[in-house]
Structure formats: C-alpha cells, structure tokens
Copies of this chain bind each other. A is one copy, B any other.
Amino acid sequence: VSPSTTAFADAIHLEPQLDGTYAGLVDGGWTIGGKPNGGYLLAMLASAALEEVPHDHVLAASAHFLHSPDPGPISLTTEVLRVGRSASQVRARLSQDGKPCIEALLMIGTLDAADEPHWAGGAPAPSGVGPEECLRLPSTGPTGVHVAIMDQVDLRLDPESLGFASGRPAGRGELRGWLQLPGADFDPVSLLYAVDAFPPATFDVELSGWVPTMELTAYIRALPAPGPVRILHKAQLIEADRVDEVSFVWDSRGRLVAQATQLAGIRLGR
C-alpha cells in the first residue's frame, strides 16, 4: 500500500458500538465523482453481517440502493434472520445522518478451499489478454468526472474494451480486464467490490454520466487464489432509463469466484 492509498480492509473497517450497531467511515478515496462505489459499500454491510453469525464467508448479497452517502461517518445496523447449520441470513442497513442509504440481505456460510467445480458448462470461459497487455484506467475519466478510486486500485482494461476512451465504443456492451487491490489479495468480502468495480458496461455502447446502481446481487462461488482477478462486465438491455449489467470474476487460476447482476439508472439519447 503506497502512502496515497487506503487498504481495502482499512477503508471498510467497522467499530462495533455498545448498542449493537457498527460505526464506519466512507473513505473519500474510494469514490467516483465524490460518491462511494456501491460494491465497496456492500462490502461494509457484509463485514457487519459476518460479525453476527457463526459462519465465515459471504455467499450471497442482495442490496437496494436508496440514497448515496457522502464520504464521512456512517452507521450500520443488522438483524439476524436465521442461523442454520451450513448457512445463515442477515439483514443489514447502512445509514448516514439517520437517513437509510442501503438495505441489504446477506447469506453467510463457509467456503472450502478444496472445493472444485462440479460442472461449469453454462458459465462463460475467461477470455481476453493478460494484465500486462491491458491499460490502467486513470482517475480522470472520459466524461471528465474525477474517479478517485482509480488511484486506489489497479484497474486495467483490455485494449478491445477501451474504444469509449477515444469516442469509438465497440457497441458490444462488454468491458474485459483485470483488477487488483492496493497491497492485498481478494477475499469473499472484497469480491463484492470487484463485481461493481468496472466502469459502466454501457460505456462500450454510448458514453453517459453517472450510471447509479439501484439493485446489486452478488454470489461468491469460491475462495479466490492470490493475485489479480479477471473481470467481464456486460450490459444486456437498456430500456426506460434503466440497464441491467452482469459481471463475472475469475481468479488468477481461471476459476469463476464471483458473479453479479445489477439494475442501474442511465440517461441516454436525450
């Protein structure tokens, strides 16, 4: 971790409070145009949920984004919905100044490093060039927005996905590339950030302003191996000022470790 970056674990650090809630701080470095990344915030909610139940890893997280918090203090509350033998469920809420910002449901269980895929025939295969042939995104985006988070993480896009940067999107709605955290490897919690880390996949169709996440559901499928993760972020349908995007995250062994779907707001063609 260089002096200018905040480790992910520090950026999501929570302090348990005497009343059973958790206090956290939205880090100004983990923002896009001054607003925190949604997956980064979801990782905070998962951290709080993990404190509440006997299992070790987040397996599924579904979040509805109500209001974007600003950098600064936040509060998290949790409610254990069920404690099971192999998995438990927790509801969690992130609020700022008493205003609910994110409501999430989380399934917590335990992943075993020895597990192997039984059948992976329906998932896309990892594709694209290696990280050394990708280009790192700068913190000044093509829309002029300051993307502070790009000074934290090493996010590299495949040259074939970079048409948007020169005003020539490929029109496929697909961004491929790699992601690495500052000075740390991924774990199930930080994979919740990975699924939402890429620029809007719609940039490969048409540039726009902020594409705010309304709903984000992520599944963590395996413990990631050390090293950067490969990501495919893909838009499916843009209609009525909303777009759905799917993400696939593979670890350095090529194993699918996380998947996600999100519904986001978008303004185009007006």
Interface positions of A (Cβ within 8 A of B): 59-60, 62-64, 66-67, 81-82, 87, 89, 91, 100, 103-105, 107, 111-112, 115-123, 171-174, 201-202, 205-206, 214-215, 217, 219, 221-222, 234-240, 242, 244, 246, 256, 259, 261, 263, 268-269
CB distance from A128 to the nearest CB of B (A): 16
Closest residue of B by beta carbon distance from A248: B236
**Contact sample, A vs B, 9 pairs, CB 8 Å cutoff:** A60-B64, A64-B81, A64-B107, A82-B100, A117-B237, A119-B235, A119-B237, A122-B201, A221-B244
B81 and A100 form a contact (CB under 8 A): yes
A103 and B123 form a contact (CB under 8 A): no
Ranked nearest first, the 4 interchain pairs of A and B with the lowest CB-CB distance are: A62-B62, A217-B217, A122-B173, A122-B236
Contact A215/B221 with A103-B81, A115-B239 known, Cβ cut-off 8 Å: no
B173 and A121 form a contact (CB under 8 A): yes
Closest residue of B by beta carbon distance from A173: B122
Q: List, in ascending order, chain B residues with CB within 8 A of A120's CB.
A: 236-239
Q: List, in ascending order, chain B residues with CB within 8 A of A205's CB.
A: 119, 121
Beyond A59-B242, A121-B173, 13 additional contacts (C-beta under 8 Å) are: A62-B64, A64-B89, A103-B105, A116-B239, A117-B237, A119-B202, A120-B236, A120-B239, A219-B261, A221-B237, A221-B242, A221-B244, A244-B259
Task: Tell me the bound Cα distance from A234 to B172 in angstroms.
Answer: 21
CB distance from A45 to the nearest CB of B (A): 12
Task: Tell me which of B67, B174, B217, B239 contacts A215 (CB under 8 A).
Answer: B217
Q: List, in ascending order, chain B residues with CB within 8 A of A221's CB.
A: 237, 239-240, 242, 244
Most buried by B among A111, A171, A235, A263: A263
A239 and B117 form a contact (CB under 8 A): yes
Task: Tell me which of B67, B116, B240 contacts A82 (CB under 8 A).
Answer: B67
Closest residue of B by beta carbon distance from A255: B239
CB distance from A14 to the nearest CB of B (A): 21
B236 and A123 form a contact (CB under 8 A): yes
